[in-house]
Chain A
Amino acid sequence: MVDQLEKIKGELEQANILTGEELEEFRIRYLSKKQGRITELLKLIPTIEPADRKAFGQQVNVLKTIAEGMVGEARTRLESTQRSSDVPSDLTLPGSAFDTGTLHVITETRNEIVNIFERYGFTVADGPELEDDWHNFTALNFPPEHPARDMQDTVFIEPPGDQHDGILMRTHTSPVQVRVLKEQKPPVRVIVPGRVYRNESISYKSYCLFHQVEGLYLDEGVSMADLKHLLHMFSRTIFGDDVVMRFRPSFFPFTEPSAEVDIWWKDDSHPEGGRWLEILGSGMVDPNVLDALDIDSEKYTGYAFGMGIERIAMLKHGIPDIRLLYENDLRFLSQF
Chain B
Amino acid sequence: MNISYNWLREYVPVDITPEELADQLTMLGLEVDGLTSIGSDFEGIVVGEVLSVEAHPDADRLVVCEVNIGEEQSLQIVCGAPNVASGQLVPVATVGTTLTFPEDEDGKQASIKIKKAKIRGVASAGMICAEDELGLSEDHSGIMVLAGEASVGEPFATYLDRQGQLYSDTVFDIALTPNRPDAICHTGVARDIAALNKLDFRLPGIKTPAVDNDASAVSVFIDDTDGCKRYSAIIVRDVSIKDSPAWLANRLAAIGLRPRNNVVDITNYVMHELGQPLHAFDLDKLNGSTVGVRATAKSEEFVTLDGKERKLPAGTSMIVDGEHMVAIAGIMGGENSEVGDNTKNILIESAYFDPPTVRKVAKLLGMQTDASYRFERGVDPERQFIAAARAADLIAELGGGKIDDVAADVIVSIPAPVSIDVRPERVNLIAGTQIPTAEMVDILVRLGFEVTESDKVLRCDVPSYRHDVTREIDVVEEIARVFGYDNIEEPETTSLRHYLPRTQPEAELRGRVESILTGSGFSEIYTNSLISPDSAAAANGPELFGKKYQGERVMTANAISSEMSALRPSLLPGALGAVSHNINHGQEETRFFEFGHVFRKGDVPSNVIDGYIELESLCIAMCGSRSASWNSSEHSTDVFDVKGITETIVRLVCDDVEVDPNYTPGHLTSYSIRLMHEAQVVATIGCVGGGLGQQIDLEQPVYFAEINWGLLVNLYRAKPEHRYAPVNRFPVVSRDIAVIVAESTEVANVVKTVRNYGGKLLQSVNVFDIYSGKGIDAGKKSVALNIRFGADRTLTDKEVDKAVGKIVNSLSRDHDAILRQ
Contact = CB atoms under 8 A, between A and B. Distances in A.
A147 B359 contact: yes
A229 B630 contact: no
A100 B527 contact: no
A249 B480 contact: yes
B296 to A, nearest CB: 19
B377 A224 contact: no
Contacts of A234: none
Nearest to A104: B524
Contact of B432 (A104, A146, A224): A224
Contacts of A148: 178-179
Interface core residue of B28, B471, B599, B612 (most chain A CB under 10 Å) = B612
Interface string A234-258: 0000000000001111110000111
Interface string A195-218: 101011100000011000000000
B179 A251 contact: yes
B494 to A, nearest CB: 6
Interface stretch (B137-145, B587-595, B689-697, B746-754): B587-595
Given A129-B597, A147-B359, A326 B496 contact: no
Main secondary structure of the interface of B (DSSP, over half): mixed
B430 A250 contact: no
Interface stretch (B114-122, B552-560, B732-740): B552-560
Contacts of B504: 123-124
Contacts of B429: 221, 223, 301
Contacts of A248: 26-27, 29, 31, 485
Interface string B577-613: 1100110010100111100110101000000111110
B514 interface: yes
B431 A224 contact: yes
A83 to B, nearest CB: 22
B556 A249 contact: no
Interface in B67-88: none
A248 B482 CA distance: 11
Contact of B488 (A129, A147, A167, A247): A247
A270 to B, nearest CB: 12
Nearest to B561: A201
B518 A103 contact: yes
B430 A224 contact: yes
Chain B, interface size: which category?
Answer: 35 or more
Contact of A145 (B359, B585, B626): B359
B430 A284 contact: yes
A185 interface: no
Contacts of B177: 250-251
A158 interface: yes
Contacts of A326: 526-528
Interface in A254-269: 256-260
A328 B582 contact: yes
Contacts of B490: 225, 228-229, 232
Contacts of A156: 556-558
Contacts of A284: 430, 473
Interface string B520-552: 111111111110000000000000000000000
Contacts of B599: 130
Contacts of A158: 554-557
A333 B579 CA distance: 13
B630 A225 contact: no
B565 to A, nearest CB: 9
A163 to B, nearest CB: 9
Contacts of B554: 130, 157-158
Contacts of A230: 494
A226 to B, nearest CB: 6
B821 interface: no
A91 to B, nearest CB: 13
Contacts of B813: none
A128 B608 contact: yes
Nearest to B593: A101
Interface string B342-363: 0000000000000110011000
Interface stretch (A42-50, A55-63, A74-82, A114-122): A114-122
Contacts of A334: 523
Interface string B167-208: 000000000011110000000000000000000000000000
A151 B481 contact: no
Contacts of B494: 120, 226, 229-230
Interface string A5-26: 0000000000000000000000
B529 A129 contact: yes
Contacts of A129: 529, 597, 614
B403 interface: no
A334 B611 CA distance: 40
A257 to B, nearest CB: 4
A246 B23 CA distance: 11
Interface core residue of B473, B476, B494 (most chain A CB under 10 Å) = B473
Interface in B705-751: none
A225 B477 contact: no
Contacts of A273: none
24 contacts: A96-B632, A102-B524, A130-B554, A130-B599, A130-B608, A130-B609, A155-B559, A157-B554, A157-B556, A158-B557, A164-B611, A169-B529, A195-B596, A223-B429, A225-B489, A229-B491, A248-B29, A251-B180, A256-B474, A257-B480, A257-B481, A287-B471, A329-B582, A333-B523
- Can you list the 4 inter-chain pairs with the closest CB atoms, starting with the nearest? A225-B432, A223-B432, A249-B29, A251-B177
Interface of A: 93-94, 96-97, 99-104, 106-107, 118, 120-124, 127-132, 144-148, 150-151, 154-160, 164, 167, 169, 187, 189, 195, 197, 199-201, 208-209, 221, 223-226, 228-230, 232, 246-251, 256-260, 284, 286-287, 301, 325-331, 333-334
